Structure 1
Amino acid sequence: MAQSTGAKRTGKVKLSRAEKKAARLVRKQRRRDSFKQMRQAFTLTRKNDARLVPYLVLAFVLTAVPLYLLVVFITDSVWLPILPALMLGLLAAMFLFSRRAQSSAYSQAEGQAGAAAYVLGQLRGDWRKTDAVAGTPQLDAVHRLLGRPGVVLIGEGAPQRVKPLLAQEKKRVARLAGDAPIYDVVVGRGEGEVPLAKLNTHLMKLPRNLSKEQVVALDRRLSALGAQRAPLPQGPMPGGVKMRSVQRAARRRG
């Protein structure tokens, strides 16, 4: 009875041995999954980025060595700065690896059907995304974003097919958008196009033209707009590696 009262006061539930063992197994499996994701991402990135390993070593050295020398100068100890220098060097290397892995994945995915839809899924902030509101049998597609800048239509595929799709969808949206701005973006490397790796950065730089209330109201109006869904393959990233998982794993190990 006393143990039960004590547990209620502290708000903690005492776990049985079996429950503690199960919790340890879950944590162990998560660490294994994290390491597996990191190893897979490293293997894939190294195949497509010959400079990866030298750059990681350089990032580690340029971060760890100056810190080590600085702490030695301040404390006059050769042993004290070893651990913090190693930790900071590993953190710098992991950060660089995350960035280069993301860049490598984007470069491999560029031109694949559904790549833009995946990248838009990484967009931060209050955006309402509708995939493939228009498309062609060749897997060209137009995706619709709604946010504080207004309505943004993103086209991916062959420019000669995507641009007419964008124009057609822009007319449909304009009937309900009122005074809200409508932007159109073509993903690619041609003149006037936005590269896949810079797509989200380009979108985040758009001016904020609408209030939150206007976005909600416009979202309700656009939800009544029919969509001609285009079939898009899932997971355009090479080898099925999701960069969000890679970055989570990098942060855990950093």
Structure 2
Amino acid sequence: MAFGRKKDKAPKAAKPGGGRGRQIIDAYKMTARVDKLLPLWLLLGLVVGFGVFFGITMLFLHPIIATIVGILFGILGLLFIFGQRVQKAAYTEIEGQPGAAAAALNTMKRGGWTVTPAVAVNKSQDVVHRAVGRPGIVLIGEGNSQRVDQLLEAERKRMNRFVQDVPVTTLVVGRGEGEIPLPKLIRFLQKLPKTIRGADVVEVNDRLRAVGDLMANVPIPKGPMPRNMRMPKGQNPKMR
């Protein structure tokens, strides 16, 4: 048995909730860096939330209860404004960067949407993403407007060939004329008219996955293709 050695101390357990608190602090710092009026917005949410519900509750309940209710709704108002400003700041940070539209589309967890990023890409890194939902198939392009228009048109024709009975909508993310700014992309998609049923959305996704697997499994011969060789029907390659 050794003497004179200090007993090693057990590592301290991490404080519960530290991760969430750190995330909130980081989100505040990131947002404040972009949004200089963030403290005023948060104060506005707190004051409006408190004032409205304090005034309503005072008509029916004791002032102490009205104060408690006002404080609770004031905090809710602050948190609501904070969430909105964080989201706007996040879009501002990534807007214009490659893949920004895909990052925004991946936040769509409600509404029955299925997002497939980068279904078409060219050498200049212009890209087309696909979203399938109740409005049908939506193709979202980002990059140079002229080049991405060609990508969108080629992908739209491909969708119409394989899924003929589903409407296909195309749009470009950007700040140019006729383009959809990144912060408004999700809201724009959610406001599109619903043209197909929820069950049809599942069927469309299954058909598109089957088409993707089929195209991925088509063997490509090595070397130059003989001039007299004819492709089997149904496997004619698409000219680009």
TM range (shorter): 0.7 to 0.9
Aligned to 1:144: 130
| Cα offsets for 1:162-202 (capped at 9, x unmatched) | 11111111121111111211110100111111111111111
- The alignment yields a C-alpha RMSD, in angstroms, of 2.2
CA contact (8 A) 2:127 2:141 kept: yes
Q: How far apart are the structure 1 equivalents of 2:54 and 2:39? A: 22
* Runs of 5+ consecutive residues of structure 2 not aligned to the other structure: 1-12, 217-240
Give the structure with higher Rg (CA). Answer: 2
Q: Name the residue aligned to 1:11.
A: none
Residue 121 of structure 1 corresponds to which residue in structure 2?
Answer: 106
Answer whether contact 2:57 2:69 (CA < 8 A) is retained.
Answer: no
Which whole-Å CA distance do the structure 2 matches of 1:66 and 1:147 have between them?
A: 38
Provide closer, same or farther for how the CA distance between residues 127 and 70 of structure 1 changes in structure 2, counting only shifts above 3 A. Answer: closer
1:178 alignment partner, SS class: coil
User: Helix, strand or coil: the match of 2:194?
Assistant: coil
Q: State the identity as a percent.
A: 39
1:1-254 matched pairs, under 5 angstroms: 28-29=15-16, 31-68=17-54, 71=57, 75=61, 77=63, 79-123=64-108, 124-223=110-209, 224-225=211-212, 226=215
Structure 1 CA distance, aligned partners of 2:85 and 2:143? Answer: 25
Aligned residue identity for 1:210? I
Q: Residue type of the partner of 1:132?
A: A
Deviation at 1:220, TM superposition (A): 2.7
The structure-2 alpha-carbon separation of the partners of 1:180 and 1:32, relative to structure 1 and needing over 3 Å to count, comes to same
Worse-superposed segment, 141-150 or 207-216: 207-216
How far residue 80 of structure 1 moved from its aligned partner, in angstroms, is 4.2
The TM-score, its normalising length taken from structure 2, stands at 0.75
Report the Cα distance in structure 2 between the residues aligned to 1:169 and 1:221, rounded to whole angstroms: 15
Counterpart residue type for residue 206 of structure 1: L
Give the deviation of 1:66 after TM superposition: 4.7
Which deviates more from structure 2 when the two are superposed, residues 204-213 or residues 126-135? 204-213
Whole-angstrom CA distance in 2 between matches of 1:33 and 1:171:
47
Which whole-Å CA distance do the structure 2 matches of 1:65 and 1:219 have between them?
A: 48
Distance 1:209 1:81 in 2: 46
| Structure 1 match to 2:7 | none
Shift of 1:138: 3.5
Query: Residues 48 and 77 of structure 2 are in contact (CA less than 8 Å); yes or no, is this contact kept in structure 1?
Result: no
Residue aligned with 2:179, SS:
coil
Alpha carbons 2:104, 2:186 under 8 Å: kept: yes
Letter of the 1:185 partner, please give it: L
The residue type equivalent to 2:103 in the other structure is Y
What secondary structure sits across from 1:193 in the alignment?
coil
Compute the displacement of 1:68 (Å). 3.9
**Structure 1 pair 179/56, CA: closer, same or farther in 2 (3 Å)?**
same
Distance of aligned partners of 1:84 and 1:183 in 2 relative to their CA distance in 1, 3 Å threshold: same
